Amino acid sequence: MEVRRKERIDRGIKVRSEGIYCVSSPKEMLYVAGPRLLLIAGLLLLPLVLEMAPYWKRVVNIMCVYGLLAISFDFLANVVGLVCLGGAMFIGVGGYMTAIFNVYLHCPVFLAIPLAGLSGALICTVLLLPCLALRGVYFAIVTLMYPLLFTRIIEALNILGGTNGITGLDSFPNPYLENYVIIVLLLIFLFGLRRLMDEDIGLVLRGVKDNDQSVRASGINVAHLKALAVFITSFIGCLGGAYLAHLYMWAGLSLFALDFSIIPIAAVTIGGGGSMMGAVIGTFILVPLSEFLRFFGTFRIVIYCLILTGFIVFRSEGLLTYFARKYDQFERWAKI
Amino acid sequence: MSILSVENVSKTFGGLKALMSVSFSVKQGEIYGIIGPNGSGKTTLINCITGFIKPEAGKVYFRGSNIKGWPAHKIARAGIARTFQVMRPYYSLPAYKNLIIPLWSPRARAIGGWRGGGRHGDRDTVAVDILEEIGFERDSRVPYKMASTLPTGYLKRLELARCIALRPEIIFCDEVFSGLSASEVAGMVPLIEKLKMEGITLIMVEHRLKELFKVADRVMALQFGEKIAEGHYTEVIADPRVKEAYLGSEEV
């Protein structure tokens, strides 16, 4: 019997140079930039394409907020090595901060959001500082606990509007702005974080995940680096939360919902971790899917779970890794 | 003038006395060897001096200031680099990118110059320079390979390269010769001598005594956390307590 095996051969310029190559011709530039341009153009055109379906425009906004959470989770977990389930905390703190700035202090929307991002990130970082020495699942547990803590405090002390939340936040001046603010934010942070990873400081952060002992032996304060990474992550998350509060024109306890912690992880698992791009692809599948499944009523969660399991079982490497392989290599059967 | 002097350093782990009042001092530009059987406290001593564990008692003077109890990164920043016995490269990075991390550190950036690494981008070149110096073939693909794919010989060199990149005054080498073949060790020896020529003080913990004695100016022997002998290697191996520690005593 003839024995054959599948051969994978690198396509185009992605020859076996272990990632180091020179881009020289327009064709090659397009090969490298193509997928990125497709993503940027696709996202920017989405609100225009969905002109006739305002409901889905809303879904795109929420999808982008989850996208922000997913890239920040991916950054912290797969680059720095801190598994953070604090998505809900970032969204909640960001949302409440923007409500304070906007409703109590009368800042306009476009001042309140960045202020909420910065102050929220500061609060989250300070709260997480004592836990930075924890590793793996212990850090995850603490970050999961904080949102619960916030809800209980707000309920018990009846501050910040209590269970009713803070109402009367300003909305965005027009629906296009509403769409594009979050889309542009997502694109900036997606490519910004990827750029950061390629810088020397990005390498140092990856070093912290690989082995922090060597980083310490190199005269670098690991605690400072982790705090910086947590600040970046919570800044991104809080901006998302602030946006969401203005979108709903309301900041309430549901901003601390567990979904904000869990869905980003599912998205990174489906999309493939470590590159941020996988996280975005994951959210772009999961969030619309969840909306689409509303059609099935109570069966929604069952089908959702089945699809999720399917992804994890059949594409455990992550969709992005799979697509990247198909894009960079072709396969053929070779005789042995 | 001694660059590093350790005075009565002690450390216990629960009931185990890992180090009992160990003292020694090292002169600038010297190669100082530390030998001793397994479990005699050699690595613990390095960990105590470099801040990876805190000694319970004693003092560690580096250039006249007591660095005992400083955090590890601060000690490294002061100029004391170390390798790890169990190699700790950044496995997910290519070999030359492993050096970007020490080159990025405040110490290397402050010193700058040939080995300090300059701004972003220059560091890659400096990293490959250091790797070439340490024995990675520049024009081959070895410096660009993932650390996880490198053989032990290169990883040991990479450990040392990571120390050099920090531009240290003292390097603690924790068993850099172990696990290497005789010819690989022969390749490492000139490297060690070259570092000495450049004025770097080396403190080497070693089990490969023959190779260590070739390079070391002075040697200290440890047993059960106690210093039992110190001096030129001929004196140390002639010491009856050292013989006993390595070969066991003859019971009557």
Is B85 contained in some domain?
no
Looking at every residue in chain B, the average pLDDT score rounds to 86
Domain of B241, in residue numbers: 1-79+170-252
In a domain, A8, yes or no: no
Is residue A25 one of the residues assigned to a domain? Answer: no
Q: How many domains is chain B partitioned into structurally?
A: 2
| Residue A283 C-alpha, separation from nearest chain B C-alpha, in angstroms | 26
CA distance, residue A27 to nearest chain B CA (Å): 26
Write down the pLDDT at residue A13: 58
Question: pLDDT per residue over B155-177, tens digit each?
Answer: 888 999 999 988 899 999 988 88
Instruction: Tell which of A78, A200, A204 to mutate to test the B interface (max B CBs under 10 Å).
Output: A200
Residues B160 and B175 in one domain: no
Query: From residue B140, how far is each of A17, A108, A317, B14 by CA, in Å?
Result: 12, 59, 31, 50
Q: A225 to chain B: nearest residue by CA?
A: B105
Same domain, yes or no: B116 and B191: no
- pLDDT (0 to 100) of residue A51: 85
User: For residue B42, what are its two tokens?
Assistant: 């050699």
Rounded Cα gap, residues A81 and A137, in angstroms: 11
Those residues of chain A that have pLDDT short of 50 are 16
* A-proximal residues of B, 147-206, CB under 8 Å: 162, 165-166
Residue in this structure with the two tokens 């203005």, named with its chain if needed:
A246
d(CA A281, CA A277): 6
- Is residue A27 situated within a structural domain? no
CA–CA dist B178, B218 (Å, integer): 20
| Residue of chain A whose alpha carbon sits nearest to that of B53 | A213
CB of A218 less than 8 A from some CB of B: yes
d(CA A214, CA B84): 8
| More reliable by pLDDT, B4 or B117 | B4
Amino acid B225: pLDDT: 87
- Chain A, 157 to 186: residues with Cβ < 8 Å from chain B are none
Taking CB atoms and an 8 Å cutoff, what residues of chain A touch B165?
Answer: 218
Within a domain: A17? no
How many domains are contained in chain A?
1
Contact B104 A221 (CB under 8 A): no
Residue B27 within any structural domain of the chain: yes
Buried b / exposed e over A254-289, threshold 16 CB at 10 Å, is bbbbeebbebbbbbbbbbbbbbbbbbbbbbbbbbee
pLDDT level of residue B88 (50, 70, 90 thresholds): confident
Q: Are residues B61 and B175 in the same domain?
A: yes
One domain, residues B251 and B177: yes
pLDDT the model gives residue B116: 43
Mean pLDDT, residues B200-227: 89
Look at residues B152, B168, B184 and tell me which one is the last residue of a structural domain. B168
Handedness of CA A121, A123, A129, A134 (dihedral sign): negative
Q: Please give, rounded to a whole number of angstroms, the shortest distance from the CA of B195 to a CA of chain A.
A: 18
- Run of H or E including B219: strand B218-223
Question: Quick check: is A197 in a domain?
Answer: yes
* Buried/exposed A112-132: b ≥16 CB within 10 Å, e otherwise: bbbbbbebbbbbbbebbeebb
For residues A275 and A77, is the Cβ–Cβ distance under 8 A? no
Residue of A nearest to B76 (CA): A219
Q: Indicate if the pLDDT at residue B250 is higher than 70.
A: no
Q: In chain A, whose CA is at the least distance from the CA of B166?
A: A218
Give the per-residue pLDDT at B114. 46
Contact A329, A8 (CB under 8 A): yes
Q: Are A42 and A56 in contact (CB under 8 A)?
A: no
Domain presence at residue B242: yes
Is residue A10 in some structural domain? no
Q: What is the ipTM score, two decimals?
A: 0.86
Average pLDDT over residues B68-93: 90
> Which chain B residues in 41-70 lie under 8 Å from chain A, judged by CB atoms?
50, 52
Is A79 domain-assigned? yes
Same domain, B14 and B72: yes
Alpha-carbon gap: B245 to the closest alpha carbon of chain A (Å): 32
For residue A254, give the 3-state DSSP assignment. helix
In this predicted structure, what is the pLDDT of residue B128?
Answer: 87
Same-domain check for residues B18 and B69: yes
The span from the CA of A140 to the CA of A148, in Å, is: 14
Is A51 a domain residue? Answer: yes
Q: Is there a single domain that holds both residue B163 and residue B134?
A: yes
What is the structure's pLDDT at A61? 92
Q: Looking at the structure, do residues B9 and B64 belong to the same domain, yes or no?
A: yes
Between helix A259-271 and helix A300-314 the angle, nearest 10°, is 40
H or E element in which residue A334 lies:
strand A329-335
Domain end position, chosen among B134, B168, B202: B168
Residue matched to tokens 């050699």: B42
A209: closest chain B residue by CA: B90
Report d(CA A260, CA A66) in Å as an integer: 7
β-sheet bridge partners, residue B17: B12
In sequence order, the 6+-apart residues with CB closer than 8 A to the CB of A122 are: A231
Provide, as residue numbers in chain A, all residues whose Cβ is less than 8 Å from the Cβ of B101. 203-204, 207, 214-215, 218, 220
CB < 8 Å from B in window 8-67 of A: 18, 20
A196 touches chain B (CB under 8 A): no
3-state secondary structure A113-146: HHHHHHHHHHHHHHHHHHHCCCCHHHHHHHHHHH
**Domain boundary at B168, B185, B220, which?**
B168
DSSP tag of B119: S
| Contact of A12 with A35, CB cutoff 8 Å | no
The reply to whether B193 and B177 lie within a common domain is yes
B96, B127 contact by CB (below 8 A): yes
Instruction: Name which of A55-64, B36-45, B202-211, B242-251 the model is least confident about.
Output: B242-251
Chain B residues with CB inside 8 Å of A199's CB?
120
Domain with A211 in it: what CATH number?
1.10.3470
B88 vs A201, A211, A220: nearest CB: A211
Partner A contacted by B8 (CB < 8 A): no
* β-bridge mates for residue B80, sequence order: B170
B86: in domain = no
Co-location of B163 and B148 in the same domain: yes
> B49, B73, B87, B123: which to substitute to probe chain A, counting the most A Cβ within 10 Å?
B73
B64 and B181 inside one domain: yes
Q: Domain range for residue A319?
A: 33-335
Give the distance from residue B48's alpha carbon to the nearest chain A alpha carbon, in angstroms: 13
Other beta carbons within 10 Å of B29:
15
Cβ pairs bridging A and B (under 8 Å):
85
